[in-house]
Structure 1
Amino acid sequence: MIVRDDLVIGQPSHAWVTSQIGRAWGNAAHPAAEPFEPMIVAAVQHDVGWVEADLAPQLNPETGRPRGFLQMPRADHLRIWSASPRWLLTQSRYAALIVSRHGTSLYDRVVPEPEQAEAIAAHLAEQRALQAVLSVGLDMEQVARNGALLRTWDAISLALCHGVMPAQAGEFSLSAGGAAGAGDGVAVRLDPWPFGRERVEIACEGRALPGTFTSEAELREAFAAAPAVALRWTLVPA
């Protein structure tokens, strides 16, 4: 869950944004993903393991707000990242491989606390064993390129959902402003421009969840009743 001001955005909603970026992606300098549809499945489902956690948000006692995805206990992270590729096996072997590699790429950058090291090592070993099976017969240079694409789409989506500009997503810079029309949502400039058309419209849903809470029960009751909020962005060249 992404927590910002009086708004929360579920990880699967952020993943929906990621897939919309992926669908529009592609020009002479920044080719579209190939194979295309399995990569879109990977993008839209890469956070599928967060569904249950986002429907029952945890309370951050330090803030009185829900825990954001970066504040979740490490054990929950590992459980979630183990579940996502397994569930994707019911849809696409290729997407499951890309999502598994996406998860392990995140943990490759983690310096674990001593008490977490064994669990993280076991998770990485399990996922790499799965990846070895799913990789048979595939072009691994292409898989690596597509993994980098998903990381880029994911980073752009996170920047949009967090709403803090300027932001950096790999080689891409995001900044506020631009020529969005009335009703077109927040205009965001992107440099360099990776799309084949002059503007790209993106949408998802969050929930309005103002205030602070004194217990998890109170938080979850408020969350269950929280109204949906339509979020829209218009991406334009810098």
Structure 2
Amino acid sequence: MIRRTSDDAWLLITQTEHARIAAELAAAWGNDRFPPLPLPEWLLPAIRHHDDGWTLWDSSPQIDPETGQPRDFTEMPMAESTAIWTRSIEICSHAIGRPASGSECLKRLGNWLEQQHRSLTRSHEQVLALFLEATEPLSEESLPEMRPDADGDSNAVPDAAALLDDLLQAGVIAPDMPSDATRFTLAEDLLAPSPLGGLWVSGHFCDLASRARENRTSSEDLAAIDHFLDEQAALQAEWRRQLAARMPDDELAPLIELGLRYVQRFDHLSLWLCCAERDEPFELAFPGAGQIHFVPLFDGQVVVDPWPFAADRLELTVAPAPVPPLPCRDDRELHERIADAPAAVLRWVLMSGQ
């Protein structure tokens, strides 16, 4: 969670919302002067989901018991951070929105329905097709109105909740979060493996862990960092071995490095926007683009020079939870404040300086 300080509140922003902003920036990247992302079908999901390991923690955040403040992501004990990073890497080592086999999904659903002495219907196929194409979790509300099945009662409109339950019971979909069984994605074992996604996101978090090692002093933190780095080194070696069978090293190594740099830069830019109100210019070097200058003006307007995006301007929004900037007695009080938080929006408009 990001704890952003404003004049009269702490603005709490989830890590997955920050990652969404990073992905929107990445998706908009590229024009006549700057090339678009390489392998966007693999790189964009890695950027979008690189903080998905935070989902459960952000749904039930904790305070720092010494200060009573909501814990910012930079204030976590390293054992907790590395466990969250590990989960994020696991998620990104599968290609979100890219099933290993649509036919395998259909077969699993059909086998389960057969065990229930039921038949696969057109409505089942329609809902499954939506999950096969989705890059974000789906809920009952996000499903379109179902049409009556041609082989059934012409007046019977399939119930979306029942169709979702069928896919869930069949093991085709799974809750996006264990604590929230209203949003669903394809089951993880049905997603295509993404060694590149794993390598890019693992490299990102290994870099963060190495930097944290320079600033942390407790033996518990240092031990958690060392364990994480050792574990990730072994995973990275295995993913490299898998990819080496598909492409020569002189192509693979630059691709791994390039994707990692994009993950890091869009993460950095999103955090620059989300973590504080800015009044000083900012520079960030992007692969193949050199230094990009970001100059904040007022009301969230940011001048960007040179302009690297496809559209003439780019608007981004995030909905933080504004809570009183007063110490909380315990985690429960924090959760109550978040539940009672009024609606709020942070908005940025990026525009060309030329």
* TM-score (structure 2 length as normaliser): 0.61
Q: Paired residue for 2:238, among 133, 136, 140?
A: 133
Please report the RMSD computed on the Cα atoms of aligned residues, expressed in angstroms.
2.1
Q: SS of 1:4's equivalent?
A: strand
1-structure distance, mates of 2:227, 2:307: 40
Q: Give the AA of the match of 1:31.
A: P
Q: Does 1:97 align with 2:199?
A: yes
Q: 1:70 Cα shift?
A: 0.4
Partner of 2:268: 155
Would the aligned equivalents of 2:279 and 2:297 in 1 still touch at CA under 8 Å? no
Map 1:1-238; keep pairs closer than 5 Å.
Answer: 1-5=1-5, 6=9, 7-91=11-95, 92-93=193-194, 94-110=196-212, 111=214, 112-113=216-217, 115=219, 116-135=221-240, 136-137=243-244, 139-162=252-275, 163-168=277-282, 170-171=284-285, 172-177=292-297, 186-212=300-326, 213-238=328-353
CA distance in 2, matches of 1:227, 1:44: 26
Letter in 2 for 1:186: G
| Distance (whole Å) between structure 1 residues aligned to residue 318 and residue 79 of structure 2 | 28
Corresponding residue SS for 1:146: helix
Q: Distance in 1 between matches of 2:283 and 2:232?
A: 25
CA distance in structure 2 between the aligned counterparts of 1:109 and 1:4, rounded to whole angstroms? 22
SS of the residue aligned with 1:189? strand
- Structure 1: runs of 5 or more not aligned: 179-184
SS at match of 1:109: helix
Give 1:15 deviation, angstroms.
0.2
> What code does the residue aligned with 2:227 have?
A
Task: Give the ranges of 4+ consecutive aligned residues of structure 1 lying more than 4 Å apart after TM superposition.
Answer: none
| AA in 2 matched with 1:56 | S
The more displaced of 94-103 and 227-236 is 227-236
Cα 1:20–1:140, aligned 2, differ >3 Å: closer, same or farther? same
**Higher mean C-alpha displacement, 100-109 vs 129-138:** 129-138
Q: Is the contact made by 1:57 and 1:67 (CA closer than 8 Å) also made in structure 2?
A: yes
- Partner Cα distance (2:201, 2:40) in 1: 15
* Secondary structure, counterpart of 1:170 in structure 2: strand
Sequence identity, in percent?
Answer: 32
One-letter amino acid of the counterpart of residue 211, structure 1: P
User: How high is the TM-score relative to the length of structure 1?
Assistant: 0.88
Unaligned runs of 5+ in 2: 96-192, 286-291
Would you say the 8 A contact 2:78–2:224 is kept in 1? no
Q: Is the 8 A contact 2:51 2:88 kept in 1?
A: yes
Question: Alignment length, in residue pairs?
Answer: 232
AA partner of residue 83 (structure 1): R
Work out the CA distance in 2 between the residues paired with 1:205 and 1:37: 27
